[in-house]
Structure formats: structure tokens, C-alpha cells
Structure 1
């Protein structure tokens, strides 16, 4: 899958000026644990994960990590702070958790295409809505479910997390300490 496929699903009507987008796409390869951007940077691209896995994480004042999301193959992420007027530095870090290949395109190009063509505006809004829905579902789990149900719900939706991320990262994503997650897993196995 490529970036253009995220905007132009199979069977959908062709987007205008698709060649303009394709001419702006830049691939980038990242080693395991390499930062794609850091807290305070001002990345101005939309990133598409072609291969690998990316972790988006906040750091608390005490240095503790809070995982915002994991972005797997076929999904996109962007620092929307760069679209503000004036642009603002990003408030989190993006790190490749595996050897990762990204396709990146300037957000400004996408915004211009969206302003010039309703079809592009519609496709951009669909991507943003998907991101908002995913974030809202994660927030709902964090705020309303007990720990065991949060863990089960996350793995039901994204079972690959169990094997592709470290336990402390999964714990940070579901709002637990690594020790709490270990105990929870032990209880879940004992009751199975």
C-alpha cells in the first residue's frame, strides 16, 4: 500500500491533480528506535507508514512516557500543530519501533489540493475523521473501563500490539504501569 491509496481507495473516482501529490511524496527510512520528529520540532508533513510501526508519545514533566498511539502499516499521522496560525511546535515525539519506511508529503500541498478541489477536501476530512474516531475510542476506554477491560478491548481491536511492542509501551498506552500490566496478564491467564 502507498500513500496515494490512503486517499484514493480502489474503485473510487480518480482525484484531480493526483500527479501533483505523487510528485511531492518523499520516502524516508528509519531504523528501530530512531526519532522521526521530537517534542518541540515543527514537522510540516503528513506521514504514511508503508512498512513498520511508529509510536507517538508524550513525556510528562517527570519524564514518564505516555503513549498517544501506535501507527501501523497503511495508516497516517501528522503534527497538526503545524497547521495553526502561527505554526506551533509539536507536543509529542514520533519514534520508529521497528525498521520503518514512511512516505511523507507536505501538509501545505494537501491543504492546497483541499482548497482547490472538493474531492480532495472530502478525502482529507475522511482521514481526519478516522483519526478523531480512533482517538475518541481510545480516550473512552482510558476514562471509562477498568484495567482488565481496557487491556482486553485494546487487544481485541489491535491484537498485534501484544507481539510488536514492549510491555512497558503497551502499559503506557492503556494507562497502567508495567508492573500492573504484568499482574493483570497473570490474572487473565490464571482465569482462562
Structure 2
């Protein structure tokens, strides 16, 4: 594994602008592990207590809820160089309200929440990194809620394309339909209309 594919090298490159001290970085490496996740595997399941965050260095995940009628509803996607977890569950100690599934063979760094807390308590730089990551997550969450409430289907689809560039080539249309809140048939009609 070279520096361009080594998960720790990838994350260390992202962390370089936060001036993390070497001893703190080594403590992080010692307390975490690299996991290879096969397509279709859930790293978090609905109802599970969450004790880890996952930093994706390769692959793709979807966050989804199971609706009362049995349909799956995609809440978000996690691509390379981003975190996948249920922050609310991790922080509050409550069972997760959604599942996180690998949509491709993926590689993650599994990070215990207790380690993150310890690092944040010791270092303002770690605290800043985690805060910025969480702020980005909640900004996306608010944008998504606004899109679902106020935008018509076509604009929700366009917002998806802007938020996740190139993802439409990596996932099936029914996953996109689920994310923007319409049926696969409606999405097919929408795309046909736009294409003509």
C-alpha cells in the first residue's frame, strides 16, 4: 500500500492543516484500526448502539431508514474522505435510527468514540477538526431538509448532482429516487423529460 492508498496517510494529509502533534497522531493510530468492508455489509444497523465513527478512504456508503411499509429511504451518502456514523446515537448513547451500508467494497478507519473524546479533551486541534466535521454534517442535513420541504423533484435531483458529483454513475437510479423522495418510475419519467 503506497501513500496514495494507505488510509492513515490519506487522513494524515487531511489533518495536516490542523497541526496535530506527532504524539497525538500516534495515539490516534494506536487506538484505531483499518477495516475492509464488503458491498452490502452494514457497519451500523438500526437499533444498534453506536460506539465508533468510520472515516471512509475508499468506497461508498448509504445511510438509510426502513419505513413502516418496508421501503428503504436513503438519508445520505458517504464517499471517500468523509465520515460515516450516527453522531446522535454516538453522543447520546441511544440506538441508531438508521443503518449504514457499503454500496461498494470499501476501506475505513474505525475510530472508537471514547478515543475521539480523549483526543478532543487533550488537544484543541483535534477538537477543531471534529467540530468542523460535525458542522459540515449538520449543514448538509439542514440543506437536505430544506430541499425536501421546498424544492420540486427536478430541483431536488439537480441538488443531488451538485452535492454528490459523479455519484449518479456509481449507484442505481432507484437509490437516487429514494434519496430525492420519489418513486423510481417518477425519476425515470423526470430524466426522460429533461433529456428531450
What is the TM-score when the length of structure 1 is the normalising length?
Answer: 0.90
2:169 pairs with 1:169: no
Cα deviation for residue 170 of structure 1 reads 0.6
Could you list the runs of 5+ residues in structure 2 that have no partner in the other structure? Answer: none
1:11: how far off?
4.1
- The alpha carbon displacement at 1:36 in A equals 1.5
What are the residue-to-residue correspondences of 1:34-45 with 2, within 5 Å?
A: 34-45=41-52
Map of 1:83 onto structure 2: 91
Query: For residues 134-153 of structure 1, what are the structure 2 equivalents within 5 Å?
Result: 134-153=140-159
Q: Structure 1: how far apart are the matches of 2:137 and 2:91?
A: 16
Contact 2:20 2:125 in 1 (8 A): no
In the superposition, relative to structure 1, how do residues 184 and 8 fare at CA in structure 2: closer, same or farther (>3 Å)? closer
- Contact 1:7-1:123 at 8 Å conserved across structures: no
Give the Å deviation of 1:159: 2.6
SS in 1 for 2:97: coil
Q: CA deviation at 1:6?
A: 6.8
* 8 Å CA contact 2:65, 2:98 repeated in 1: yes
Tell me the alpha carbon deviations over residues 79-131 of structure 1, each in whole angstroms, 9 at most, x when there is no partner.
Answer: 221321xx211111111001111111101110111122222211111110011
Deviation at 1:7, TM superposition (A): 8.6
Q: How do 1:94-105 and structure 2 match up within 5 A? A: 94-105=100-111
RMSD of Structure 2 on Structure 1 (CA): 1.8
> CA–CA distance in 2 between the matches of 1:41 and 1:82?
10
Per-residue deviation at 1:64? 1.3
Q: What is the aligned counterpart of 1:63 among 67, 70, 73?
A: 70
TM-score by length of 2: 0.89
Q: Distance in 2 between matches of 1:9 and 1:48?
A: 12
1:10 is aligned, of 12, 16, 32, to 16
Query: What secondary structure does 2:119 align onto?
Result: helix
Partners of 1:55 and 1:97 within 8 A in 2: yes
d(CA) in 1 for partners of 2:33, 2:70 = 33
Q: Which runs of 5+ in 1 are unaligned?
A: none
CA distance in 2, matches of 1:99, 1:107: 24
Task: Specify the SS of the correspondent of 1:42.
Answer: coil
Change (3 A) 1:6 1:140: farther
Correspondence for 2:120 among 114, 118, 129: 114
Contact 2:18–2:125 (Cα < 8 Å) also in 1? no
Aligned residue for 1:10, secondary structure, equals helix
